[in-house]
Chains A and B, each alone.
Chain A
Amino acid sequence: MRLGFIFGEISQGLKRNVSMVISVILVTFVSLTFVGTAGLLQLQIGQMKGYWYDRAQIAVYLCTSIDPASSCPQGAAGADIKDAVKAKLKSHTLKAYVASYEFENHKQAYQHFQEQFKGNSVAKYVTAEQLPETYWVKLKNPNDSRIIIESLSGQSGVFEVRDQRSYLDQIFAILNAASLAAIGIALLMLFSAALLISTTIRLSAFSRRRELGIMRLVGASNFYIQLPFILEGVVAATIGSVLAGIAVIAVVQFFVQGYLATTISYMSFIGLSDAFVIAPAIVLVGIVLAAVASGSAINRYLKI
């Protein structure tokens, strides 16, 4: 094996189609950056799920004076109802699932509401009486929410029992769809990257058909003939995918950590350690993709 010779052939091939090589680099760069960003988004969703699911509670909303009679026939919940709910939460059957619970009265609910909707016009019109009194129930295992919901929903004076995770699930579904869309676009771009690589390799083989003819004639092995072409594709794609890896790390460092994490302080964000998992993975994807694309291209072009 003459390494010097092979590297000479590769650099000649790269120089010969500079513009195609640059386009391969750019396409792999952009498509793998997409793949990497989609991966980051998935990790972020996972992280947010872990964070919010831990904090999610079950809200037992009690009836207020403005609730419709169909669900609250007896009007606003009185002390007897509050005691009944409290008794139920303390009861033998539910005790095993409930970690803790807290009562929020009209006044506290009003304060929370004002904080949450600060600057929003709705904050001006709502009154404390319109906001329901609520038992906030924290479960030992958040997956047991169904049990609490079923046993408290029928209770008179209870307007609604709601697992906060159901709100989160909607948000996560949207984020998930966004990251799936990004992956879909990324796959499309990776496909075009593969086609571009194989076209570039075929062009390179065509421009060197004399050499290839002579190589076959004098008995150069297939491996020896194909290796420079495969490496040519791999070198170009590696440059692109390393750039994509750097871009992913930069996105996390400067956008997520540098901007998002400082601006939105109450949420936890993915960090550099996550980026250092994603970056090598996309470099690997880029290299394998290029090797397969250029290998199959040259294999079809060169029949011995």
Chain B
Amino acid sequence: MIRIENVTKQYRGSARPALNRVSLEIDKGEFVFLVGASGSGKSSLISLMLREEVPTKGRVHVLGEDLVRIPSRRVPYFRRKLGVVFQDFRLLPNKTVTQNIAFSLEVIGRSRGLIEAAVPDVLRLVGLEGKGDRYPNELSGGERQRVALARAIVNKPAILLADEPTGNLDGATSDGIMALIERINLAGTTVVMATHDKSIVDRLKKRVIELSGGEIIRDERGGAYRAEKPMTSSEGAGA
């Protein structure tokens, strides 16, 4: 489903590579946490999977597409098979909840009929029934992230990429969001989530990939936020 081989990403003007010879493979239906200090390369990895960035060296395959070679006009069609959420929600403030979700379908040319059927469905799924006419600034942080999740999954993506989706939320609200993401995962969507939230990672006991200085230092199934045995001392503290 996602295969990354020997990937090095060097940004222009920085001495140290953001990712250094990283290889990993994620199968269909998996739930993977990416953990590590700020600047360890989690976000770069997600950018590569989204094909926002191209690796300096190495290969990236996602959903059968070679993301190094894919022609740029096919990139949008590739992205339609992914859902993405971010720490800052990225909602449009001048559109209602319903319009925000409908917007993502309108811009990929979906029919009005499909949109009118799909949006209420997904609102029910994320627990925002009856709040479709609210504007983002009338919602709590948790509710906003639910809107963002609804937008990410309304097109039934094969993979959900989440870059610190609970980073702006308090504990109880985070748990609600995580329950929702787990449900999305159980329905068959592969989830890759970058996070600093120790308690979530420890509680869910999913696969954990830990990055440090652009390299994978741990890849453990059913792992915790920190390794059982202490690793090298250079490993930074997260949250």
Contact = CB atoms under 8 A, between A and B. Distances in A.
> Which 7 pairs between the two chains have the least Cβ-Cβ distance?
A219-B79, A219-B80, A220-B107, A218-B104, A219-B76, A221-B76, A215-B107
A144 interface: no
A217 B108 contact: no
Of listed B78, B90, B106, residue having the most chain A CB within 10 A? B106
Interface in A1-22: 1-2, 5
B73 A217 contact: no
A225 B73 CA distance: 12
B92 interface: yes
Of listed B81, B104, B151, residue having the most chain A CB within 10 A? B104
B186 interface: no
Nearest to B86: A217
Interface residues of B, number: 24
Given A220-B108, A221-B109, A222-B76, 11 more contacts: A1-B109, A5-B106, A214-B107, A219-B76, A220-B76, A220-B107, A222-B73, A224-B107, A225-B107, A304-B75, A304-B76
A210 B107 contact: no
Contacts of B107: 5, 214-215, 218, 220, 224-225
A210 B103 CA distance: 12
Contacts of A304: 72, 75-76
Contacts of B109: 1-2, 221, 224
B84 interface: yes
A1 B78 CA distance: 18
Contacts, number: 57
Interface in A242-259: none
Contacts of A214: 90, 92, 103-104, 107
A278 B125 CA distance: 61
A95 to B, nearest CB: 74
Contacts of B81: 219
A224 B104 CA distance: 12
Interface in B24-75: 50, 72-73, 75
A213 interface: yes
Contacts of A222: 72-73, 76
B90 A218 contact: no
B106 A219 contact: no
Contacts of A5: 106-107
Nearest to A214: B90
Q: Interface on chain B toward A: helix, strand, loop, or mixed SS? A: helix
Of listed A211, A219, A225, residue having the most chain B CB within 10 A? A219
B87 to A, nearest CB: 14
A100 B9 CA distance: 89
Nearest to A211: B92
Interface in B94-116: 103-104, 106-109, 111-112
B92 A218 contact: no
A43 B115 CA distance: 56
A221 B78 CA distance: 10
A2 B104 contact: no
B73 A218 contact: no
A214 B75 CA distance: 14
Of listed B72, B82, B107, residue having the most chain A CB within 10 A? B107
Interface in A193-243: 210-211, 213-222, 224-225
A224 B80 CA distance: 14
Given A211-B92, A224-B107, A217 B84 contact: yes
Nearest to B152: A218
Nearest to A210: B92
A30 B72 CA distance: 39
29 contacts: A1-B109, A210-B90, A210-B92, A211-B92, A213-B90, A214-B92, A214-B103, A214-B107, A215-B107, A217-B50, A217-B84, A217-B90, A218-B80, A218-B104, A218-B107, A218-B155, A219-B76, A219-B78, A219-B79, A220-B107, A221-B73, A221-B76, A221-B77, A221-B108, A222-B72, A224-B107, A224-B108, A304-B72, A304-B76
A214 B72 CA distance: 17
A203 to B, nearest CB: 18
A216 B108 CA distance: 10
B66 to A, nearest CB: 16
Of listed A214, A217, A224, residue having the most chain B CB within 10 A? A217
A218 B77 contact: no
Of listed B79, B80, B84, B151, residue having the most chain A CB within 10 A? B79
Contacts of B104: 214, 218
A245 B223 CA distance: 72
Contact of B77 (A211, A213, A219, A225): A219
B191 to A, nearest CB: 17
Interface string A87-101: 000000000000000
A219 B108 contact: yes
